[in-house]
Amino acid sequence: MADYLSYMDQLNEAERIRAPDTPESLIGRLAALPAAWDMLDDYGLDVYSKQIVGRVATTAEVRDRRGRPMVTGVNFGSQDYLSLASHPAVMKAATDAIERYGVHVGGSAALMGNCAPSWLLEKQLCDWLQLSDCSLFPTGWGAGYGAIRALVRPRDHIVIDRLSHASLHEGARAATRHVHVFNHLSLESLERQLKLVRERSANVGILVVTESLFSMDSDVPDLRAHQELARRYGATLMVDMAHDLGSMGANGLGALEQQDMLGKVDVVMGSFSKTFTSNGGFVACNSPGLKLAIRFGCGPHTFSNAMSPAQASVVLKNLEIVRSSEGAHRRALLQRNSVALRKVVADAGTPAMGIPSAVVPVPMGSTGRCRMVSRFISEGGAVCNAVEYPAVPREGARLRLQVMADHALEDIELFRGIYTRALAQADAALAAFGCSEALGEDAGEPYDSALAPLSTIDPVLQAEI
């Protein structure tokens, strides 16, 4: 669809040149998009906008975007890492909160949208993260975007890992034109960009942005080295903990805990939608000034309705479980399941990327092969998600399998047969169409910053990248 949108833009541009005096309709130029979407549906290759029927669990009934039955089977397509979405204590926390507080707070956190559960959640997150100040957001996306907008002024610079989440890239582009993309996980690339910025602008602020676990590749940066480089060049480091917080580490604190960096990173943020089974997010640091800047000058926080009491109560209960012996047991099960699933896909000749985590990314190569394999996985009785350009490189399409603590080893063995057959069926179907879509050697390679759109790179540094 991204390529189709680009093609439509080219056609529209040609029409503008042909008829320069004819106004262009913003809505009218999108009129042809449904035809492309429906064409994918006709061939069973529309793998997006699915709907789940019933609770999120290790098995799921799924319908397509038109509401038609799609698949009922083992579920590797939902973000419920510790299987807490239907935990009895979590559901009781939600119903108790609704009974006591109602379903809505009726305002933003800057006015009177805070409630007793959200106030307590901020305090408990500070204690857990070993940081002094925390601000909640109604979405994780808003937390990433909003933190950058609160920290960065137009004169400042941002140096960001190429694979950082879209919310972070969009926040960066909205905050300043001085955005520099460094090669994924590359300390050499990061330092090169920091050095270039400092050589040209000795007194500007610099924000370095990365993640503690990248969901597209399931890999982890050297956070201590990132923080040391940031300090060396007078920069501030911000780390997105969305995917490993709660689900990895002895105490659930992810890569920061594993690298002995708790309380030592300048700014951390995260989302509650992966392990903590709720919409919402947070930003935490040791600066009360940032909390006030967020409270009164950050659109996604200041001008958005705050988290509901039920959402905050759900996250509180999840946090209690995550910090308990039950949480440790669930993390151990999750790790076991991730290792087992990674073995299944490796045995089929498609090794997973990165390290064992709740996310198991499996390179497919081209978009066509990825969609075809996804189609046959659904037909075989399993649920997963396909990821393609522009979320990943054009020849780096992949399946993103998401594991839960409650998956049984039998579920994973069932997937072995489904997956092996799906690969064979997809390659046979592509061969029948005369396509050679086998996995390319470079399909799993990380991004090269030379591939970054020019709009995301500071013009001053384009020549040096």
For domain 33-84+326-432, is the CATH number 3.90.1150.10? yes
Architecture field, domain 88-323: 3-Layer(aba) Sandwich (3.40)
Model confidence band, residue 7 (pLDDT cutoffs 50, 70, 90): low
What pLDDT does 333 receive?
Answer: 98
**pLDDT of 446 above 90:** no
C-alpha distances (whole Å) from 84 to each of 50, 91, 227, 273, 330 are 21, 9, 33, 11, 10
**Strand 69-75 relative to strand 382-383, pairing:** parallel
Segment 226-256, tens digit of pLDDT: 999 999 999 999 999 999 999 999 999 999 9
C-alpha distances (whole Å) from 79 to each of 64, 83, 274, 282, 377 are 18, 9, 5, 18, 18
Q: How far apart are CA 450 and CA 458, in angstroms?
A: 13
| 23 phi/psi in degrees, rounded to 5 | -60, 140
**Which residues make beta-bridge pairs with 51?**
63
Q: How far apart are CA 15 and CA 9, in angstroms?
A: 10
Please report which helix (H) or strand (E) contains residue 61, including its range. Answer: strand 59-63
* C-beta atoms surrounding 346 within 10 Å: 12
Segment 377-398, tens digit of pLDDT: 999 999 999 999 888 888 899 9
Residues 130, 284: contact at Cβ < 8 Å?
no
- pTM score of the predicted model: 0.89
Q: How far apart are CA 28 and CA 394, in angstroms?
A: 28
Domain with CATH 3.90.1150.10 in the chain: 33-84+326-432
Residue 432's Cβ-count burial label (10 Å; 0-12, 13-18, 19+) is exposed
Q: How far apart are CA 118 and CA 284, in angstroms?
A: 14
Domain with CATH 3.40.640.10 in the chain: 88-323
Residue for token pair 């559960």: 117
